[in-house]
Amino acid sequence: MLYIGSHVGFKKDSQLLGSLQEALSYGANTFMFYTGAPQNTSRYPILDGLTLEAMTLMKEHGFDYSKVVVHAPYIINLANDKDPDKFMFSVRFLQEELERCELLGIRQLVLHPGSHVGLGIDTAISNIAKGLNMILGTHPVTVLLETMAGKGTEVGSTLEELKRIIDLVDDKEHIGVCLDTCHLNDAGYDMKEFDSFLEKFDQLIGIDKIGCVHVNDSKNVLGAHKDRHENIGFGTIGFDTLLSIIYHEKLEEVPKILETPYVDKDYPPYRYEIEMIRNKKFDSNLLDRIRNQS
Ligand code: FE
Ligand code: FE
Ligand code: ZN
């Protein structure tokens, strides 16, 4: 079965119920959300009543909640320990995210490994593992390290770097990986050769560690180290390649999450992109259709 969705909002007054309703409006059968604004760490208390209502609605729609994931805010940076207070702030905030995930019944949390900001890759990798080792296993939540584009001093743009982090993590049961097709392309991994990429991933890390796939096209060429997402089929990766990843038999159980840009910054594309993915046929007029029907 295909599990496909997008990132959706999580608002103070509607919380998980609102996120689910948004996902349902896109025809999705999974979704990803931030427990507050992606770019900051201010968070509201989780309201259990709304969580329960969402659970009931999910049952009615045959939604498999184990496929839903949370994304940690970008500003958590476990790689940098120049300022010990800032490092501990990141660790504590991540710990609180694990708590929120547990309250919400979420089992998988996507995390950007971090940026080394001049400390160098070796220090960064040991810092990330140190931070993770302080908190993993305290909650029944698996942290999925996202593959990064390699913008600036980002850590995790190669499988070898991710492997080195995972090797240093004590609690192997609660660590995994989230593939992001745009980031992989921008990092220099050719998604047209996805089978050989997956083989390499399996040798280094193990396919069973893949907990989520972010499906995005890219505005930039292979190896650009840029990280600018494009709508499905309208970028340099292309529709057929993305479709072969989405329907890859070895990733059938893994949720696929769209993080493609709103059209003209206003219109969410997800209902249309999901429909196009289910139809398995590229629609070159899709963006105009979104503009006109929204
Ligand atoms: Fe991400
Ligand atoms: Fe992503
Ligand atoms: Zn990105």
The answer to whether the CB of 166 falls within 8 A of the CB of 208 is: no
Q: For residue 257, how far is its CA from the centre of ligand 2 (angstroms)?
A: 8
Kindly list the protein residues that place their beta carbon closer than 5 angstroms to ligand 1, a single-atom ion: 146
Q: For residue 195, how far is its CA from the centre of ligand 2 (angstroms)?
A: 20
Closest to 44 (Cα-Cα) out of 34, 30, 54, 57:
34
Q: For residue 281, how far is its CA from the centre of ligand 1 (angstroms)?
A: 27
Taking CA atoms, 280 is separated from 107, 143, 274, in Å, by 30, 31, 10
Closest to 34 (Cα-Cα) out of 145, 119, 109:
109
Give the number of the ligand closest to the Cα of residue 150. Answer: 3
CATH number of the domain encompassing residue 164: 3.20.20.150
Name the maximum alpha-carbon separation found in the chain.
52
Q: For residue 180, how far is its CA from the centre of ligand 2 (angstroms)?
A: 5
Residue 136 domain boundaries: 4-293
- Residue 12 to residue 234: CA distance in whole angstroms: 34
pTM: 0.97
Query: 74 or 147: whose pLDDT is higher?
Result: 147
Q: For residue 257, how far is its CA from the centre of ligand 3 (angstroms)?
A: 12
Q: Number of folded domains in the chain? A: 1
Q: What is the pLDDT of residues 227-276, one digit of tens each?
A: 999 999 999 999 999 999 999 999 999 999 999 999 999 999 999 999 99
For the CA atoms of 74, 75, 79, 84, the dihedral, rounded to the nearest 10 degrees, stands at -160
Q: What is the pLDDT of residues 34-50, one digit of tens each?
A: 999 888 888 999 999 99
Q: What is the pLDDT of residues 173-186, one digit of tens each?
A: 999 999 999 999 99
Give the number of the ligand closest to the Cα of residue 259. Answer: 2
The answer to whether the CB of 106 falls within 8 A of the CB of 69 is: yes
| Residue 212 β-bridge partners | 178
